[in-house]
Amino acid sequence: MNVLFKPEAEEALFEISKWVEEKEGSGSGIKFAEAFIDRITEFVLPDFKYAGCFNDSLAVLNLRCIAIKDWVVAFKQTKDEFIVHYILYGPGLK
């Protein structure tokens, strides 16, 4: 199954990685991004049905959500693709 990132999700991951790099030093941003992507791929299970997002704005888009530490990953899953639409800071969601 392919894991794809929409532009909004790519931009968020880039910005988060940049922030980590500034806080923790050289090389930490790319390590964070790689580990985050690896963690997302652990959720890519064929024929597994995830619950919809609890956030109304995401739910109306028929997105599914998983939490990775403080981050919410909103996605859609088809038979062949796991499409990450958004990566959002969980405590900031209402």
CB 32 within 8 A of CB 20: yes
Domain ranges of the chain: 2-92
Our CA dihedral for 30, 53, 76, 85, rounded to 10 degrees, sits at -40
Instruction: Indicate if the pLDDT at residue 94 is higher than 80.
Output: no
Instruction: Indicate if the pLDDT at residue 85 is higher than 80.
Output: yes
Q: How far apart are the first and last CA of the chain?
A: 31
Give the pLDDT mean for 47-57. Answer: 89
Ordered DSSP codes for 4-70: EE-HHHHHHHHHHHHHHHHHH-TTHHHHHHHHHHHHHHTT--TT--PPBPSSHHHHTTT-EEEEETT
CATH 3.30.2310.20 corresponds to the domain 2-92? yes
Query: For the segment 32-49, what is each residue's pLDDT rounded down to a tens digit?
Result: 999 999 999 999 988 888
pLDDT bucket at 91, cuts 50 / 70 / 90: confident
pTM for this entry: 0.90
Instruction: Indicate if the pLDDT at residue 60 is higher than 70.
Output: yes
